[in-house]
Amino acid sequence: MSASLPPSSSETIVVEGLRVLDRRRLRRLLLLAFALAAVLVLLAPLTATDQADSLGVPQLVDRSQIRILTTVAMFVVMASAWNLVGGLTGYSSFGNVAFFGLGAYTCAVAVDAHRLHLPMAVAIALAPLVPAAFAALVGLPLLRLRGHYFAIATLGTAVAVGEVVKNIDYLGGATGLFPPILHRADLLFLYLMVGAALLAVLVSRLILRSRFGYGLIAIRENEEAAGVIGVNTTAYKVGAFAVAAALTGLAGGVFALWNSFINQELGFSLDFNIQMILMAVLGGAGTLFGPVLGAVALELLIQNLAGRSDVAVYAQIGLGLLLAVTVIFLPRGIVAFFGGGSRLSLTHLRRSLRETSV
Amino acid sequence: MQLFVQQVVLGLLIGGVYVAVAIGFSLVWGILNIVNLAHGALVIVGAYLTWLLFARARVDPFIALPIVAVVLFAFGYALQRALINRVIRAPLFFTLLLTFGVNLVIVNALLVIFKSDFRSVTPSYSGSGFGVAGVQVPYIRLAALGVAGLVAAAVGWLLNRTRTGAAIQAVGADRDAARLVGIDLRHVYALTFAVAAACAGVAGGLISTIQAITPTAGEPYTLQAFVVVVLGGLGRVGATVVGGLVFGLVETLGQTMVPGLGAGWANAIAFAILVLVLIVRPQGLMGRIA
């Protein structure tokens, strides 16, 4: 028996088993830590209420931080929703902000005393429906287009819808609409928006693990082949588009009520439009938590930099550079970079560069 | 009737500017398969260069155009060679995101340098024109249309009559085959983008003489270039010229001749046309079926 024998096979299995166990345990620990942090972040705002104040609980967050958290949750919804179309189905929509604007205007018109004058809960329930119906309607012709043409047609639709809204007096015209201001409602809107974010993640997870989700992935990988194996591509694509529209519209509706003001520039903001895509791609398009991670990271960055007018211009330059670096070096997003088997290494960078450049 | 003729003339003149803006955009899209979201920013860089030469050195804007073209050519070459070549084989929204990032950097760098004040280039002849049978034709817009025609002719000549143009078209038709016959892809891609940037610079120079400019004024031009290229059809200079003129006409007539619509509807009209053309005739008015 010589010393140069390879390690026995049972040994290998044990080692492999340990590694698998380790990774699984690590993952569970990470998830636990993440959940704990999330619960803390969600409970902390409660210390800002009057009741907590009278009980003598130390205030952990202030109003501006509650505002930032609400915005982050809003972008989690939008990035996750975009991911269903852009990441999962592989149709790079550049017009999802249309759904946000339609949801926002639906809510604003619904609660307005001179228009529909419905209760807030009904308005929020309506917010996803109108954009979803719109998406189903325009999705049929738009989703026949591919590649650049789809991207541009969706962008065109978003801009055109915004302009039309701006020119209709019933919708407030160029001035916009002013839903009634609810006093001391920061927490209500925070939890509404976080609820929408949880819903978006839940829906994404359900879709990712379903026949529907596999169908969408099949469409992304090869649409003709997907059709041949029996995926009803039109229904699947329009379905994904409508679900994304409903979620984005929900975020828009809550935003309109929270902000107590909505106009064309806010509702159909091209900045929002690009930011949600950037977040999904930065985090990892096509994954469940990638868009969430991207939204949290990028929105915190934006809120902390762009809010200060003295550095806003430089923050935008930084954002542009970040975009360029992400696209060139991390084309599969942060999640794939740290989690998906590839390690933080120069080899990985070099390989992804070689794959995409000439 | 006279009003109608006047609007047709104005529409065609505005269409000239759209042609100038869209030629570079069409070239990059057709050859590199990149929708360049920084195109409007390049246009505005050209506009600011023209303004700088006019305000600081009293250079006539139309004499400044070749200088602007050369500067933008160099800038475009460097940009493509250093950055965009790195993602040229990536999925399309990566190129969209990269050019959007470049757009952000350029626009905000302009904001740092020039602030957000309105600037305009006003040579002595601006505002004057001539009239034929009651129809007014402003000199500057006519000259702009003329320059746009020259740019289109020059790009057409470059693409169809020169060896470089043959290489550019070969790369656009089949990248791998072009590499096999010995074409330096990196150089040709950079050259294509450089020509497009030079065209954008010239378009910017023209625009600076027609309207006031700010660092953020470029975005509408990117969108309009989209519409023009889709309208005309991708891949040929002639198609872009037709697309630009038709777009200028439809936009002007739509705003002034259709009751109930006004200047506020310009974008809505443009994108309604865009979406309609994409759905009904995706290859454009002049395009061949790919």
Is the separation of the CB atoms in B76 and B42 below 8 Å?
yes
Residues of chain A found within 8 Å of residue B112, distances taken between Cβ atoms: 313-314, 317
Say whether A160 and B108 touch across the interface (CB within 8 A). Answer: no
What pLDDT shows up at residue A260? Answer: 92
Q: Does B148 or A152 have the greater pLDDT score?
A: B148
A89's CB contacts (< 8 A; 6+ apart) are A216, A219, A220, A236, A237, A240
Q: Does B111 or A26 have the greater pLDDT score?
A: B111
User: How far apart are alpha carbons A149 and A168 in whole angstroms?
Assistant: 28
DSSP string of B173-192, one letter each residue: H-HHHHHHTT--HHHHHHHH
ipTM for the predicted complex: 0.80
User: How far apart are alpha carbons B280 and A44 in whole angstroms?
Assistant: 54
What pLDDT shows up at residue A337? Answer: 60
- Residue B174 in contact with partner chain A when CB distance is under 8 A: no
User: How far apart are alpha carbons B157 and B165 in whole angstroms?
Assistant: 8
Is the separation of the CB atoms in A171 and A165 below 8 Å?
yes
Containing B39, the helix (H) or strand (E) segment is helix B39-57
Crossing angle between the packed helical segments A63-82 and A290-306, to the nearest 10 degrees = 140
Average pLDDT of the residues in B9-16: 92
Is the separation of the CB atoms in A88 and A208 below 8 Å?
yes
User: How far apart are alpha carbons A118 and A127 in whole angstroms?
Assistant: 12
User: How far apart are alpha carbons B163 and A190 in whole angstroms?
Assistant: 62
Measured between CA atoms, the residue of chain A closest to residue B233 is A149
Is the separation of the CB atoms in A64 and A70 below 8 Å?
no
Which of A138, A220, A275, A323 has the most B C-beta neighbours within 10 Å, making it the best mutation to test the interface with B?
A: A323
What pLDDT shows up at residue B253? Answer: 85
Say whether A317 and B105 touch across the interface (CB within 8 A). Answer: yes
What pLDDT shows up at residue A334? Answer: 65
Res. B237: pLDDT tops 70 = yes
**AA identity, residue A153:** A
Say whether A160 and B226 touch across the interface (CB within 8 A). Answer: no
pLDDT digits (tens, 9 = 90+) for B125-138: 877 888 887 788 88
Exposed, middle or buried, B89 (CB in 10 Å: 0-12/13-18/19+)? middle
What pLDDT shows up at residue A1? Answer: 41
Measured between CA atoms, the residue of chain B closest to residue A356 is B89
What percent of chain B is modeled with pLDDT above 70? 95
What pLDDT shows up at residue A89? Answer: 92
Place of tokens 């015209």: A173
Domain count, chain B: 1
Say whether A327 and B98 touch across the interface (CB within 8 A). Answer: yes
Count chain A–chain B contacts defined by CB atoms under 8 A: 147
Per-residue pLDDT tens digits of chain A, which is 358 residues long: 444 444 444 444 444 555 555 666 777 777 788 788 777 777 777 777 767 777 777 777 777 888 889 999 999 999 999 999 998 999 989 899 999 999 999 999 999 888 888 999 999 999 999 999 999 999 998 898 887 788 878 988 898 899 889 888 889 888 899 998 887 788 889 999 999 999 999 999 999 999 999 999 999 999 999 999 999 999 999 999 999 999 999 999 999 999 999 999 899 988 888 889 888 988 888 888 889 988 998 888 888 766 666 677 887 888 888 888 878 877 766 666 665 444 555 666 677 777 777 7
- Among the partner-chain residues B35, B175, B189, the one whose CB lies closest to the CB of A151 is B35
Place of tokens 């660092």: B215
Place of tokens 């609980």: A57
Say whether A356 and B87 touch across the interface (CB within 8 A). Answer: yes
Tell me the CA end-to-end span of chain A in Å, nearest whole number: 53
DSSP string of A184-236, one letter each residue: T-HHHHHHHHHHHHHHHHHHHHHHHTSHHHHHHHHHHH-HHHHHHTT--HHHH
Is the separation of the CB atoms in A347 and A353 below 8 Å?
no
What pLDDT shows up at residue B290? Answer: 43
Residue B21 included in any domain: yes
Q: Does B24 or A309 have the greater pLDDT score?
A: B24
Residue B141 included in any domain: yes
Q: Which two tokens stand for residue B146?
A: 């003329």
Other CB atoms within a 10 A radius of the CB of residue A147 amount to: 15
pLDDT digits (tens, 9 = 90+) for B157-202: 999 999 999 999 999 899 899 999 999 999 999 999 999 999 999 9
Output the average pLDDT for chain B: 88
Specify the length of chain A in residues: 358
What pLDDT shows up at residue A336? Answer: 62
What pLDDT shows up at residue A13? Answer: 47
Is the separation of the CB atoms in B15 and B146 below 8 Å?
no
Q: Chain A neighbours among B 108-147 (CB < 8 Å)?
A: 108-109, 111-112
Residues of chain A found within 8 Å of residue B78, distances taken between Cβ atoms: none
Coil, helix or strand for B134? coil
Longest dimension (CA), chain B: 60
Q: Which two tokens stand for residue A181?
A: 């201001």
Residues of chain B found within 8 Å of residue A320, distances taken between Cβ atoms: 100-105, 108
Say whether A316 and B107 touch across the interface (CB within 8 A). Answer: yes
What pLDDT shows up at residue A342? Answer: 45
Average pLDDT of the residues in B247-256: 85
Containing B131, the helix (H) or strand (E) segment is strand B129-132
Is the separation of the CB atoms in B223 and B64 below 8 Å?
no
pLDDT digits (tens, 9 = 90+) for B64-101: 999 999 999 999 999 999 999 988 888 777 888 889 88
Say whether B265 and A167 touch across the interface (CB within 8 A). Answer: yes
Coil, helix or strand for A309? coil
**Beta bridge pairs of residue B131:** B136
User: How far apart are alpha carbons A248 and A257 in whole angstroms?
Assistant: 15
Measured between CA atoms, the residue of chain A closest to residue B272 is A160
Place of tokens 């609007």: B7
| Domain hosting residue B75, numbered range | 2-216
Longest dimension (CA), chain A: 93
A101's CB contacts (< 8 A; 6+ apart) are A158, A161, A162, A165, A252, A264, A267, A268
